[in-house]
């Protein structure tokens, strides 16, 4: 397929994904030998298998089907009675041949911040000038849907924030002052990134599990992503793939591994093939890291009343033994999963009573400045670098990444 036809498909991607009736096309696509049977089966299994996911995959794969793929596809649309889409593509293609400038992707973000191949659209209307990048900002590399997840739904996904602040006296865990600051920052941030945000406060371990199960059982077929944020006390826990556990307000631990497992392909089929992101602001243990070289802290870190608090607590089972296994079940291949931890497993995560946690404060600031131009992994590298330079006691965020593609948020 030549570049003009590719640009046309990318320009029309949103309308095609929204309106394309794929069930009527399979036989016609096979008869015209535009796709082979095994390729059709792969498209039908795309994502959650919903019409929308299949349509998106079909448009993506169409770019690989040769120089005559687009005119053949237009004929398939006409044969199945989808004359509106056929007419739109045919007219646009003819206009592009008369005037190559007509096919410039005016409805897409400029290449400087979002390559056409990523399929990241902005609202239709008057074309805007490319936004000026902050000095040092990296440009997104050119690519296509094979290299980056497409987040073109609106909202692009659901975001659930579990914010545990007030713990029962019997739990032995302190009030997490400053966590509401974190919660509000993240609620605003993910709302600005086109997520539908829900917040739950002060849940027991059982209630946390119920809230997560309820989210996993909802239909995500029309969405492109899912985010879970947990703000709580935490501890070490034995694991197979994802370390750590977080506490409910009753003092009951819930392992990160169990939380992630709720959203695997079996537990949440409508999120198959879609990125599932987990952000954990909690201690991974009670070790205090002084670093290999102690440097002076920033003035605000030394201000009266500004002493940071840890989110650590030892994990005790009923027998009193510490850090016993609480997650022993194996996960299926954990594709499309990204878990961001506020601290290295086994170490304390610091939180200021007035400003919130180091991790969330930095995460929010980095997303605000760089999310328009950098992918998720690059953003989290910036967070890790900035947090690692704070305070006398040290902290280093980290992540476990099973994403198959780059992820750029919509901004």
Active-site residue list = 233, 283
Distance CA 285, CA 377 (A): 24
Q: For residues 365 and 379, is the Cβ–Cβ distance under 8 A?
A: no
Cβ neighbors of 280 (< 8 A, separation 6 or more) are 230, 234, 244, 246, 256, 339, 340, 341, 342
The answer to whether 242 and 330 have CB atoms below 8 angstroms apart is no
State how far the Cα of 370 lies from the Cα of 137, in Å rounded to an integer: 7
Could you give the count of Cα atoms lying within 13 Å of 381 in the half-sphere of its Cβ?
A: 5
Tell me how far apart the alpha carbons of residues 30 and 292 are, in angstroms, rounded to a whole number. Answer: 63
Burial of residue 37 (number of CB atoms within 10 Å: 0-12, 13-18, 19+): exposed
Ranges of beta strands (E only) in 269-358 are 276-281, 309-310, 337-341, 350-352, 356-357
227 with 275: CB under 8 angstroms?
Answer: no
Buried b (16+ CB within 10 A) or exposed e, 13-23: bbbbbeebebe
In contact, 103 and 4? CB cutoff 8 Å: yes
Vertex 307: Cα angle to 208 and 201 (nearest 5): 20
CA 244, 212, 208, 236: dihedral to nearest 10 degrees?
0
């Amino acid at each position: 397929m030549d570049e003009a036809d590719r640009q046309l498909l990318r320009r029309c991607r949103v309308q095609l994904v929204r309106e394309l009736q794929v069930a009527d096309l399979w036989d016609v696509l096979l008869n015209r030998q535009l796709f082979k049977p095994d390729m059709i089966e792969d498209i039908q299994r795309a994502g959650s298998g919903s019409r929308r996911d299949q349509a998106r995959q079909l448009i993506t794969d169409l770019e690989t089907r040769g120089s005559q793929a687009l005119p053949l596809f237009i004929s398939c649309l006409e044969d199945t009675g989808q004359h509106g889409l056929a007419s739109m593509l045919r007219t646009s293609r003819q206009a592009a041949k008369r005037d190559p400038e007509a096919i410039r992707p005016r409805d897409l973000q400029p290449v400087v911040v979002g390559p056409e191949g990523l399929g990241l659209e902005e609202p239709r209307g008057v074309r805007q000038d490319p936004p000026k990048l902050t000095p040092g900002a990296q440009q997104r590399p050119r690519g296509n849907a094979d290299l980056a997840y497409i987040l073109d739904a609106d909202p692009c996904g659901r975001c659930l924030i579990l914010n545990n602040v007030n713990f029962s006296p019997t739990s032995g865990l302190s009030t997490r002052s400053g966590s509401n600051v974190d919660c509000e920052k993240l609620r605003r941030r993910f709302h600005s990134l086109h997520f539908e945000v829900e917040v739950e406060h002060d849940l027991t371990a059982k209630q946390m599990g119920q809230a997560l199960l309820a989210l996993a059982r909802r239909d995500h077929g029309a969405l492109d992503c899912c985010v879970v944020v947990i703000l709580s006390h935490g501890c070490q826990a034995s694991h197979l793939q994802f370390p750590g556990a977080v506490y409910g307000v009753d003092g009951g631990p819930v392992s990160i591994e169990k939380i992630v497992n709720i959203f695997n392909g079996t537990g949440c089929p409508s999120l198959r093939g879609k990125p599932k992101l987990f952000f954990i602001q909690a201690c991974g243990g009670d070790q205090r890291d002084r670093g290999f070289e102690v440097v002076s802290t920033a003035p605000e870190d030394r201000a009266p009343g500004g002493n940071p608090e840890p989110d650590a607590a030892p994990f005790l089972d009923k027998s009193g033994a510490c850090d016993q296994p609480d997650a022993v079940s194996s996960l299926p291949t954990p594709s499309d999963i990204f878990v961001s931890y506020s601290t290295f497993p086994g170490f304390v995560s610091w939180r200021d009573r007035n400003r919130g946690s180091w991790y969330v404060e930095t995460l929010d600031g980095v997303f605000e400045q760089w999310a328009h131009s950098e992918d998720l992994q690059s953003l989290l590298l910036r967070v890790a670098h900035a947090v690692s330079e704070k305070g006398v006691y040290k902290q280093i965020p980290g992540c476990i990444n099973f994403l198959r593609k780059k992820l750029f948020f919509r901004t």
